[in-house]
């Protein structure tokens, strides 16, 4: 029982730090987008593509990984200034880790910051990081019941990207069911059906981010 109580304290501390993070970001004119999603949903690839298409902005990234720096390495190789954050045995980033990553970035030289969380749909839910928007990426290869199995992450997200629709038939999944499930959970959600392989749907995600960035109060 005391674990749960302690959990509340940790969560409140995190929320306060997340608010501080947001103020720091706003102070530097940085628009931050969380990218959540399971292992292999396509988070890193999506950031690579979005950064390429948002070429009028200076894009950077923070990439959370349990032990490796594979994701930040990939992003740096793709020309996106990136900081890797190892969470050790924790299955999510938290506001404190993100704040520490800010110190390794030149915030004044960033317009859009992607924060890629650790790959799963459970732990990151409660840990706000201070970003302006939260996007959850799910791949059809996770099974088309993955949305209904993980309601909280869709309730707390602003957009859902249903990815790898090019292999939907091969894995017997219905992207439409996934979209319907997501909207049932959160009618305010923007839902995009995408394929990084064919490019389908990606421009809609880009436009959504562009609009949200323009609406950022500075």
CB nearer to a copy of itself: give 40 or 57.
40
Give the three-state DSSP class for 65. strand
Identify the residue among 130, 150, 161, 193 touching a copy of itself (CB under 8 A): 150
According to CB under 8 A, which residues from 8 to 27 bind a copy of itself? 10
CB 196, min distance to a copy of itself, A: 11
143 binds a copy of itself (CB under 8 A): yes
Classify the C-alpha dihedral 215-207-136-35 as positive or negative.
Answer: negative
Interaction of residue 91 with a copy of itself, rule CB under 8 A: yes
Q: Sign of the CA dihedral 120, 126, 128, 132?
A: positive
Nearer to a copy of itself, 119 or 201 (CB): 119
- CB-facing half-sphere around the CA of 43: CA atoms within 13 A: 28
* Least Å from the CB of residue 147 to a copy of itself: 10
CA dihedral 186, 190, 193, 198 (to 10 degrees): -150
The three-class DSSP label of residue 202 is helix
Q: Round to whole Å and give the CA distance between 196 and 17.
A: 34
Reference 30, options 65, 72, 59; nearest CA is 59
Q: Which two tokens stand for residue 211?
A: 């609009």
Query: Least distance from C-beta 56 to a copy of itself, angstroms?
Result: 30
Total number of residues binding a copy of itself (CB under 8 A)? 39
SS3 25: helix
| Residue 44 or 190 with smaller CB distance to a copy of itself | 44
77 binds a copy of itself (CB under 8 A): no
Tell me which of 16, 68, 174, 207 binds a copy of itself, using CB under 8 A. Answer: 68
By beta-carbon proximity to a copy of itself, the closer residue of 49 and 209 is: 49
Longest CA span, the chain? 51
Under rule CB under 8 A, residue 125 binds a copy of itself: yes
* Whole-angstrom distance, CA of residue 200 vs CA of residue 101: 33
Q: Does 155 bind a copy of itself (CB under 8 A)?
A: no
Provide the binding-site residues for a copy of itself, judged by CB under 8 A: 2-3, 6, 10, 38-40, 65-68, 70, 89-91, 118-123, 125-126, 139, 141-143, 145-146, 148-152, 164, 166-167, 170-171
């Amino acid at each position: 029982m005391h674990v749960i109580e302690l959990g509340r304290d940790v969560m409140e501390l995190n929320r306060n730090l997340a608010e501080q993070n947001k103020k720091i970001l706003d102070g530097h004119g940085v628009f931050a987008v969380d990218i959540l999603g399971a292992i292999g949903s396509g988070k890193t690839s999506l950031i690579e593509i979005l950064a390429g298409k948002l070429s009028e902005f200076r894009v950077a990234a923070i990439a959370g990984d349990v032990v490796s720096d594979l994701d930040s390495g990939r992003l740096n190789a793709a020309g996106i200034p990136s900081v890797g954050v190892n969470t050790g045995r924790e299955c999510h980033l938290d506001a404190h880790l993100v704040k520490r990553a800010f110190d390794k970035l030149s915030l004044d030289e960033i317009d859009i910051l992607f924060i890629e969380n650790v790959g799963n749909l459970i732990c990151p839910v409660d840990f706000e990081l201070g970003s302006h928007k939260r996007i959850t990426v799910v791949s059809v290869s996770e099974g088309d019941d993955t949305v209904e199995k993980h309601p909280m992450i869709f309730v707390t997200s602003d957009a859902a990207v249903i990815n790898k629709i090019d292999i939907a038939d091969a894995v017997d999944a219905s992207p439409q069911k996934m979209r319907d499930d997501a909207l049932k959970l959160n009618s305010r959600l923007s839902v995009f059906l995408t394929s990084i392989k064919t490019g389908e749907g990606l421009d809609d995600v880009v436009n959504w981010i562009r609009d949200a960035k323009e609406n950022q109060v500075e």
